[in-house]
Structure 1
Amino acid sequence: MGISKLTTEKVKERVDIEEVVGDYVPLKKKGQNLWACCPFHNEKSPSFSVSPAKQIYKCFGCGKAGDPIQFVMDVEGVGFTEAIRHLAGKYGIEVEEDEERTPEQDQAYSERESLYIALGFARDFFVKNLLSPEGKSIGLSYFKERGFSNSIIEKFDLGYALDGWDHLLKAAKSSGFQEEILLKAGLILQKEGDPSRVYDRFRGRVTFAIHNIGGKPIGFGARILTKDKNQPKYINSPETAVYHKSDVLYGMYQAKKAIRAKDNCYLVEGYTDVISMHLSGIENVVASSGTSLTEGQIKLIKRFTDQVTVLYDGDPAGIKASLRGIDLLLEGGLNVKAVVFPEGEDPDSYSRKVGSQAFQDYLVENSRDFIGFKIGLYQDEFAKNPIRKAEVIREVIQSIGKIPDPIVRSVYAQEASSLLEVEEDVIHTELNKSLIKTQRDQFQKREEAPPHDLGFEEYLPTEEKSTASDSLKIQEKEMIRLLLNYGWEKIDHDELHLCDYLLAETADLKFETPVYEKILITYRQILNMGEAPTIDFFIRHQDSEMKSVVIDLITPRHEVSTHWSERHQIFINKENDNLSLTGFKSILRLKRRVVQKMMEEAKMKIKTAESEKDETADIEELQKIYFELKKVQLEIDKELGIVIG
């Protein structure tokens, strides 16, 4: 079943874009809007804009845009119904079901929801198993030996998978779950060579539930407690429709509030490291679960903080092998520090060894920025080996070059110069070479990449480089932008609104860009019904393409600071200062583009007729049409003040 329209409307009325987006990324006020680094793509400077007044978001980097509901759909990767349920839960709104749903919608929603339900059932099953005789003697005793309290076991949904081929399978089937859903959830396996025989994936192991950022279980990690050389120490859930390993960090659900509050994220390797740090009173910690860091995981951290502290086991060889992760963190725009534990220790063992307070003190006292950490790591190697020292200098410079902020780069260059006892000019020279190479590589990638629409405000193609159709599309976009933003503002003393003028002047024109034509037709239809076509109407429209384009057109990328007028008494003209003139010129430019396109079409017909020697074509008449159109263009140019030699 779906969600009733009444529930959907209650959610739309109650949600606040700042609160919804603020749960995922830290927002900073600049002008009328709030800004952040986009949660949907990797960027070095904020281009993600949130407008509390319009209740919309827009990224000027990747183009993502929408309202609070669309944001949840994008960031959580869920459908409309799931997004409404998520927001209803956040704001305490009772969800009323609606019988009106298509079979296709039912199937798509049911399958994804079934995976969550099956995984939730498995979590509860594993948790209950801890209280069984086998679970108590093996699983629970293991957790207690590690010092895990009952509250921590409950907080992380720790459990135990019974030692048998089909304990979970039988329990799930008796509760009504189909084998197909259990397979898709990664909870059971099919026997090789005999797909009809299925069995539990997790058997005779303690289990660690992996949650999504909203707290739903999406997978499991499981550790064996016997010394069976034929079995891996850990096994994990496979990739599923709801579990993508590269976008998940263990413990993020439990840590996200603390990470934002502390403005720092501790990054460790394993499940027990995370849990042990919680026992020590440190909650702002997540784990990569033994895998190499991915771009998706780095973006997940950056949603909540720009500061990350990597905790390394006391194993110099292992640390050197994992240094690639620091460069990835730097490249992702994070400020990186590192802590190394004494040899043979990891966060789990060391916290249990020294106690909570001493452990917290150790983290504070031994936290070093990545430059000092990296140089210290190789100090003994290059002390008596100049060649090795030169190699280390280049490695350090490459890491500094990953930092997007030029001021931070400069500070680290100074520190590297001091620690490595190398002239700062040499560091900067090599750093510049590295940056130039990186920029050259990025430029090459952009050249090879397909072009994209840069938008009217950012780029206007010249007539030499663009066709008449391209120019017409841009002017259609500008006309719709004015209509949406200022349509209901008056332009004279006779109560004439800008929309009346724009719609009257375009009554005989058909826009060539389908989405702009659609918006124009919708605008006219609403007016004819005696209602006001507000921006809010278009933002809430079910047509996702139209909604996305409207958000793009009403969201300015740049704002003029109020300090110019308030503090310096410098007044800058705005386009809405004289809407009568702005509208008049916009219509003239639009008609100029229409005339130019007609001229281009006439010219092509003349060329085709001449090359094919088509006797049926009246070339003289076509030439006459062309020159008449040229006269019209010149008249418009004169009104616009355009002079073309």
Structure 2
Amino acid sequence: MISRNTTDKVRERVDIEEVVNDYVPLKKKGQNLWACCPFHNESTPSFSVSPAKQIYKCFGCGKAGDPIQFVMDIEGIGFNEAIRQLAQKYGIEIEEDKQVTPEAVQAFNEKESLYIALNFAKEFFVQNLQKEEGKAIGLSYFKERGFNPSIIEKFDLGYALDGWDNLLKAAKEAGHSEEILLKAGLILQKEGEPERLYDRFRGRVTFTIHNLGGKPIGFGARILTQDKKQPKYINSPETEVYHKSDILYGIFQAKKSIREKDNCYLVEGYTDVVSMHLLGIENVVASSGTSLTENQIKLIKRFTDNITVLYDGDAAGINASLRGIDMILEGGLNVKAVVFPQGEDPDSYSRKVGSQVFKEYLEEKAQDFIAFKIGLYAEEAAKDPIKQADLIKQVVSSLGKIPDPIIRSVYIKQSANLLDIDEDIIQTELNKIFVKTEKEKHFREQRDSEQETNFENLLPTKETPASSSSLIYIQEREMMRLLVSYGFEMVSAETRVCEYLLQETAELNFETAVFNKILSIYKNALSEGILPQPEYFLNFGDHEVKNEVIHLITRKYELSTLWETRFQIFTHHEADDLAKTVYDNVLHLKKKVIKKLLEEAKHKIKEADDEKLDVEVISQRLEIYMELKKFQVEIDRQLGIVVSY
């Protein structure tokens, strides 16, 4: 386990701008930096990074945190692994906690245990290449492919020995439990005999699948015999750390080159990736034999907006893969395609023609998706009007996936020329698609809006007045914002904002659980002589608290400083008169609480009347109602609200 000293050093040295910029390009706007969110699809930047506060927040999907949380979120890793990754980035020596007991090691969460077991398996497979069987079979296969020792080490290639339980025995001797090995997908249970366990990978060369941080999360394994009863490849199953639809083979080794080259080559298999690295082409990833997914496209988009799909020279395979191009277009990427000669794939063709010819082929044969798609069917369509009409529909369908209107208009003109038809025909068909899409989008938004319960939806409107509970939540949230943002400021010569707010709300019970957590943390800090500022909560262990505090202290819009510095236009800020701001907030909060109590009191009076309870009971409840009404009138008077009761 990592020592507290190492964690503190990482927190001190880490810089949110540098960390986020490794994944998404940031642009300065006002005091903050902005980008399209790496956690969800969007065309307008809503992902904000504050260098001053060392936090990030997306105003679209709500993701928020500090640099450590960002690494955890984007890499899908735990806290300890994020600290290790950041320590390595900033050259901080990692100190292990020497006081850790075997019980504490067992207490590691299951995710970390899976990573440890998978890393052990990776090392085991790699070391097998040095054993007699591994050298004769596994290493020989890699050498036949032209894989040198450095490339074998770079991709953690290995060999699974041909036996039922070689890995199982070695892992158990190293202290790994059968339960974790099963959950990691490394071993299997015999059907009908759950006590019989055996290795998943046997007698195969192994390809380690890494996450973005370089940690092993799964394996692909290729059989080397001609046994037709066995599949050529088997892969790790879905686990807590390995989701096939979220990862691409080779992304860890390729991410730096993809960003530098501003292009990503997409291939189908493991050996295609490794072979291209041998040629010095490192900006390449593979979908590992599965259909391309939306999350994989998002993963590529973190590093580039340009993707070149490399197709094997197999017409049936190309036709089956065309759906991927439409998904890439929909994801906002620019697509090109390269088709290899009949019967060739990137691996076989690169070994056949050599490095230089292969690179030239990629440059010369790359064509944009429109020319590629039309070229596939042009010969057939030229002889058959029905097929030509079908081709036009397919092209229009792809054009409709392009989110950028300028790029789309360029492709419309090109498509019209290649198909020899009027641009207006394509535009008319596109308009039909857009109308249909808008109707579907409107339906989804209408459906989703009924389910949303976020803060903005709690705000009252003329059509949908807010409930008392939602109004109380809004006011509680505002008080928490003032407490966290300005609690340390002086509201008078002798009183701080926090002292005033806590004193005035001491008898109120906050309805929102996370606000009660923040209050408790704040009060504990004060009792220890600490006057908390926002950074205090960001270093706190509770993720819910950190997340909520970030939402409280960040704003989507900010007034440009140029209004005052350049144009001499001065505006009022809430901090200019904190005394009035916090005073009004407390009154508004009390007003909302009393309103809810009045509703409850009115309900109890009606209930007593309906049930024909004793006159004295009804009288007591009326008295309570009238007392609450007096409080309401007094608060309204102090707020300057004139209401006719």
* Aligned residue number for residue 295 of structure 2: 296
* Aligned residue number for residue 213 of structure 1: 212
AA matched with 1:427: I
* Aligned residue number for residue 534 of structure 1: 533
Q: Kindly report which structure 2 residues correspond to 1:199-348, keeping only aligned pairs within 5 A, or say none.
A: 199-348=198-347
AA matched with 2:202: R
Given that 2:205 and 2:222 are in contact with CA atoms closer than 8 Å, whether structure 1 keeps it comes out as yes
* Aligned residue number for residue 97 of structure 2: 97
- Cα offsets for 1:72-131 (capped at 9, x unmatched): 33333343334334433443232231547895x643527544443443333333333334
What displacement does 1:236 show? 1.6
* Aligned residue number for residue 544 of structure 2: 545
Given that 1:250 and 1:287 are in contact with CA atoms closer than 8 Å, whether structure 2 keeps it comes out as yes
What displacement does 1:213 show? 1.8
Indicate whether 1:451 and 2:451 are aligned. Answer: yes
SS state of the match for residue 240, structure 1? coil
Q: Distance in 1 between matches of 2:268 and 2:218?
A: 17
Q: Distance in 1 between matches of 2:442 and 2:359?
A: 45
Q: Distance in 1 between matches of 2:67 and 2:395?
A: 42
Q: Distance in 2 between matches of 1:643 and 1:422?
A: 70
- Cα offsets for 1:367-415 (capped at 9, x unmatched): 2332332223222232243333333333233323333334433443343
Indicate whether 1:472 and 2:476 are aligned. Answer: no
SS state of the match for residue 108, structure 2? helix
SS state of the match for residue 542, structure 1? coil
AA matched with 1:468: S
What displacement does 1:534 show? 0.8
- Cα offsets for 1:114-171 (capped at 9, x unmatched): 4434433333333333344443443333322322222212211222333344444444
- Cα offsets for 1:320-358 (capped at 9, x unmatched): 211111222223333322222233322112222332233
Distance 1:406 1:571, change over 3 A: farther
AA matched with 1:40: F
* Aligned residue number for residue 387 of structure 2: 388
* Aligned residue number for residue 73 of structure 1: 72
Distance 1:513 1:112, change over 3 A: closer
SS state of the match for residue 451, structure 2? coil
Q: Distance in 1 between matches of 2:576 and 2:408?
A: 43
Given that 1:219 and 1:236 are in contact with CA atoms closer than 8 Å, whether structure 2 keeps it comes out as yes
* Aligned residue number for residue 27 of structure 1: 26
- Cα offsets for 1:268-289 (capped at 9, x unmatched): 1001110111112110111001
AA matched with 1:289: S
Distance 1:79 1:174, change over 3 A: closer
* Aligned residue number for residue 145 of structure 2: 146
Q: Distance in 1 between matches of 2:527 and 2:190?
A: 65
SS state of the match for residue 29, structure 1? strand
AA matched with 1:451: Q
- Cα offsets for 1:563-593 (capped at 9, x unmatched): 5555666555443344344334333432332
AA matched with 2:470: D
* Aligned residue number for residue 483 of structure 1: 483
Distance 1:631 1:10, change over 3 A: same
Query: Greater shift after overlay, 300-309 or 109-118?
Result: 109-118
Given that 2:601 and 2:625 are in contact with CA atoms closer than 8 Å, whether structure 1 keeps it comes out as yes
Query: Greater shift after overlay, 49-58 or 419-428?
Result: 419-428
SS state of the match for residue 217, structure 2? strand
What displacement does 1:65 show? 1.9
Q: Kindly report which structure 2 residues correspond to 1:486-565, keeping only aligned pairs within 5 A, or say none.
A: 486-490=486-490, 494=493, 497-565=496-564
Q: Distance in 1 between matches of 2:389 and 2:638?
A: 67
* Aligned residue number for residue 587 of structure 1: 586
- What's the % identity of the aligned pairs? 65
- Cα offsets for 1:180-238 (capped at 9, x unmatched): 44433333333334444443332332221212222222222122222222221111222
SS state of the match for residue 357, structure 1? helix
Given that 2:189 and 2:198 are in contact with CA atoms closer than 8 Å, whether structure 1 keeps it comes out as yes
Q: Distance in 1 between matches of 2:188 and 2:536?
A: 49
SS state of the match for residue 557, structure 1? coil
SS state of the match for residue 227, structure 1? coil
What displacement does 1:496 show? 5.1
Given that 2:459 and 2:466 are in contact with CA atoms closer than 8 Å, whether structure 1 keeps it comes out as no
Distance 1:342 1:634, change over 3 A: farther
* Aligned residue number for residue 369 of structure 2: 370
Given that 2:510 and 2:516 are in contact with CA atoms closer than 8 Å, whether structure 1 keeps it comes out as yes
What TM-score do the two structures reach when normalised by structure 1? Answer: 0.89
Q: Distance in 2 between matches of 1:139 and 1:27?
A: 45
Query: Greater shift after overlay, 208-217 or 633-642?
Result: 633-642
Distance 1:100 1:369, change over 3 A: same
Query: Greater shift after overlay, 321-330 or 620-629?
Result: 620-629
Query: Greater shift after overlay, 625-634 or 179-188?
Result: 625-634
Q: Distance in 2 between matches of 1:113 and 1:218?
A: 11
What TM-score do the two structures reach when normalised by structure 2? Answer: 0.89
Given that 1:3 and 1:98 are in contact with CA atoms closer than 8 Å, whether structure 2 keeps it comes out as no
AA matched with 1:452: E
Distance 1:415 1:643, change over 3 A: farther
Distance 1:472 1:179, change over 3 A: closer
What displacement does 1:638 show? 6.4
Given that 2:312 and 2:339 are in contact with CA atoms closer than 8 Å, whether structure 1 keeps it comes out as yes
Distance 1:408 1:580, change over 3 A: farther
AA matched with 2:208: A
Given that 1:472 and 1:594 are in contact with CA atoms closer than 8 Å, whether structure 2 keeps it comes out as yes
Q: Kindly report which structure 2 residues correspond to 1:102-251, keeping only aligned pairs within 5 A, or say none.
A: 106-109=105-108, 111-173=110-172, 175-251=174-250
* Aligned residue number for residue 47 of structure 1: 46
How many residues of Structure 1 are paired with residues of Structure 2 in the alignment? Answer: 641
Q: Distance in 1 between matches of 2:251 and 2:117?
A: 22
SS state of the match for residue 530, structure 2? coil
Given that 2:212 and 2:252 are in contact with CA atoms closer than 8 Å, whether structure 1 keeps it comes out as yes
Q: Distance in 2 between matches of 1:432 and 1:108?
A: 58
AA matched with 1:184: K
What displacement does 1:179 show? 4.3
Given that 1:44 and 1:332 are in contact with CA atoms closer than 8 Å, whether structure 2 keeps it comes out as no
What displacement does 1:249 show? 0.9
Q: Distance in 1 between matches of 2:628 and 2:410?
A: 62
Distance 1:444 1:282, change over 3 A: same
* Aligned residue number for residue 596 of structure 1: 595
Given that 2:211 and 2:247 are in contact with CA atoms closer than 8 Å, whether structure 1 keeps it comes out as yes
Distance 1:266 1:566, change over 3 A: farther
Given that 1:476 and 1:590 are in contact with CA atoms closer than 8 Å, whether structure 2 keeps it comes out as yes
Given that 2:266 and 2:310 are in contact with CA atoms closer than 8 Å, whether structure 1 keeps it comes out as yes
SS state of the match for residue 309, structure 2? strand
* Aligned residue number for residue 400 of structure 1: 399
Q: Distance in 1 between matches of 2:609 and 2:488?
A: 50
Q: Distance in 1 between matches of 2:184 and 2:623?
A: 71
SS state of the match for residue 397, structure 1? helix
